[in-house]
């Protein structure tokens, strides 16, 4: 935080504001550093600071951040979780202070498809242009949320509500929302590349993978919204283990390509077969292991967990593990790293990028509640 951060505040009428402040603090302990007080608490995160204070029949909310984008994130997180935890309808309230009247989302970019190409038989690269491409460079973050409008309709993009929540278009204007990694940024061309898996079951159950279906049919000029970026490079360490199936391959490749020569990296990547292997260039000392499912369907194997168990783990230096895969596999890997390997939570990031039989970001949303 700077000495003079941007500040916005709100007062929310509630029957038990202290109980709500405590509930919010208990939730945010997973996302930042929480300091409890007699009247509420304070949450500090990489985005900024939130102060929650019960005052009579109101919960006073204060959001602080260094810029408009992160201020929006802090304010939005408070408002969305209030709506999630409260019984009944969220009471009407508004914010005052910096960007209080802002109705546009500061990290929203309207872009268009520039072109597509096959990287491998099951990996499609979609190149997008427009917006502020510099915002997606390495220091800013790795992931974005693509907002795909319904075919044949003029897109209606999200906006900010007066209470800080995001207003999403509904009905015929509803957007497909999916999280992907920015595989490459070309500032000179004003474009970014998004690598998207063409799922094996698309033709049988296309409703489970609408993002993949869109990637397969996207045409130059098609509009798409992009929110982000978020999720930066992993913390500094002497060695890294990067593991995942093809949905995590773009982030594994981008991280490996950005690590310094002083690092040791072991990447374990599960793919359908040898045709799905891609070159990954890195200045680091990179050991790359490809795990082939062959005839087994995606999400049905324990290849990643077995490979991690069989690995020759570094005995010295600080390490960090990043893994992304199907929900069941992610849970098993998380349990192995925490239980049998005894790794501290700060040294591990395991994400469920998808869930067998489910569509969208369901896996990540359910993981947040576990």
Domain end residue (candidates: 230, 248, 275): 230
The answer to whether residues 215 and 260 belong to one domain is no
Domain end residue (candidates: 74, 97, 120): 97
Q: What is the pLDDT of residues 161-201, one digit of tens each?
A: 999 999 999 999 999 999 999 999 999 999 999 999 997 55
Q: What values do phi and psi take at 245, rounded to 5?
A: -90, -170
The answer to whether residues 166 and 276 belong to one domain is no
Domain end residue (candidates: 230, 251, 279): 230
The answer to whether residues 203 and 144 belong to one domain is yes
Euclidean distance between CA atoms 315 and 267, whole angstroms: 17
Q: Considering the entire predicted model, what is its pTM?
A: 0.88
Assign residue 277 the CATH number of its domain.
3.40.50.80
pLDDT of residue 102: 85
Contacts with 307 (C-beta within 8 Å, 6 or more apart), sequence order? 243, 268, 289, 291
Cα R_g (the chain), whole angstroms: 22
Assign residue 88 the CATH number of its domain.
3.30.310.50
Residues of the chain with pLDDT under 70: 1-4, 138-140, 200-208, 359-370
Kindly state the DSSP code that residue 107 receives in the 8-state scheme: T
How many folded domains does the chain comprise? Answer: 3
> For residue 43, what are the domain limits?
6-97
With respect to residue 71, please indicate whether it lies within any of the assigned structural domains. yes
The answer to whether residues 166 and 56 belong to one domain is no
Contacts with 220 (C-beta within 8 Å, 6 or more apart), sequence order? 112, 113, 114, 115
Euclidean distance between CA atoms 361 and 363, whole angstroms: 6
pLDDT of residue 364: 42
Rounded to 5°, angle at Cα 302 from 118 and 247: 25
The answer to whether residues 20 and 86 belong to one domain is yes
With respect to residue 1, please indicate whether it lies within any of the assigned structural domains. no
The answer to whether residues 88 and 125 belong to one domain is no
Give me the chain's average pLDDT, please: 91
pLDDT of residue 208: 57
With respect to residue 17, please indicate whether it lies within any of the assigned structural domains. yes
With respect to residue 102, please indicate whether it lies within any of the assigned structural domains. no
Nearest to 107 by CA among 149, 65, 158: 158
The answer to whether residues 182 and 60 belong to one domain is no
The answer to whether residues 271 and 364 belong to one domain is yes
pLDDT of residue 3: 55
pLDDT of residue 139: 67
Q: What is the pLDDT of residues 219-230, one digit of tens each?
A: 999 999 999 998
With respect to residue 210, please indicate whether it lies within any of the assigned structural domains. yes
pLDDT of residue 369: 32
With respect to residue 303, please indicate whether it lies within any of the assigned structural domains. yes
The answer to whether residues 243 and 365 belong to one domain is yes
The answer to whether residues 133 and 53 belong to one domain is no
The answer to whether residues 114 and 226 belong to one domain is yes
Q: Which long-range contacts (CB under 8 A, 24 or more apart) does 269-274 make?
A: 269/243, 269/244, 269/245, 270/244, 270/245, 270/246, 270/301, 270/303, 270/304, 270/325, 271/122, 271/245, 271/246, 272/122, 272/200, 272/246, 272/298
With respect to residue 312, please indicate whether it lies within any of the assigned structural domains. yes
The answer to whether residues 314 and 221 belong to one domain is no
Assign residue 226 the CATH number of its domain.
2.40.30.10
């Amino acid at each position: 935080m700077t000495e003079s951060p941007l500040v916005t505040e709100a007062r929310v009428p509630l029957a038990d504001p202290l109980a709500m402040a405590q509930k919010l603090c208990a939730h945010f302990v997973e996302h930042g550093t929480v300091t409890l007080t007699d009247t509420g608490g304070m949450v500090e995160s990489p985005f900024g600071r939130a102060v929650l204070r019960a005052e009579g029949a109101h919960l006073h909310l204060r959001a602080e951040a260094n810029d408009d984008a992160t201020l929006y994130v802090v304010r939005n997180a408070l408002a969305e979780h209030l709506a999630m935890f409260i019984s009944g309808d969220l009471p009407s309230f508004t914010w005052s202070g910096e960007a209080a009247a802002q109705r546009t989302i500061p990290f929203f970019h309207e872009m268009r498809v520039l072109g597509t190409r096959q990287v491998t038989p099951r990996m499609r690269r979609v190149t997008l242009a427009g917006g502020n491409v510099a915002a997606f460079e390495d220091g800013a973050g790795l992931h974005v949320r693509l907002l795909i409008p319904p075919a044949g309709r003029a897109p209606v993009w999200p906006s900010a509500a007066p209470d800080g929540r995001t207003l999403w278009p509904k009905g015929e204007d509803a957007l497909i929302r999916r999280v992907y990694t920015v595989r490459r940024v070309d500032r000179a061309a004003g474009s970014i590349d998004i690598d998207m898996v063409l799922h094996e079951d698309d033709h049988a159950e296309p409703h489970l993978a609408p993002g993949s279906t869109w990637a397969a049919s996207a045409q130059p000029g098609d509009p798409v919204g992009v929110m982000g970026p978020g999720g930066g490079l992993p913390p500094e360490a002497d060695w890294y283990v990067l593991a995942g199936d093809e949905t995590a391959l773009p982030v594994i490749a981008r991280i490996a390509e950005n690590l310094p020569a002083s690092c040791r990296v072991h990447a374990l990547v599960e793919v359908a077969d040898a045709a799905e292997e891609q070159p990954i260039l890195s200045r680091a000392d990179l050991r790359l292991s490809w795990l082939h499912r062959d005839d087994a369907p995606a999400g049905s194997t324990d290849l990643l967990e077995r490979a991690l168990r069989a690995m020759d783990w570094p005995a010295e230096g600080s390490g960090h593990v990043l893994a992304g895969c199907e929900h069941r596999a992610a849970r098993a890997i998380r349990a192995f790293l925490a239980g049998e390997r005894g790794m501290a939570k700060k040294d591990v990031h395991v994400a469920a990028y998808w869930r067998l039989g489910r569509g969208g970001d369901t896996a990540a949303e359910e993981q947040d509640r576990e």
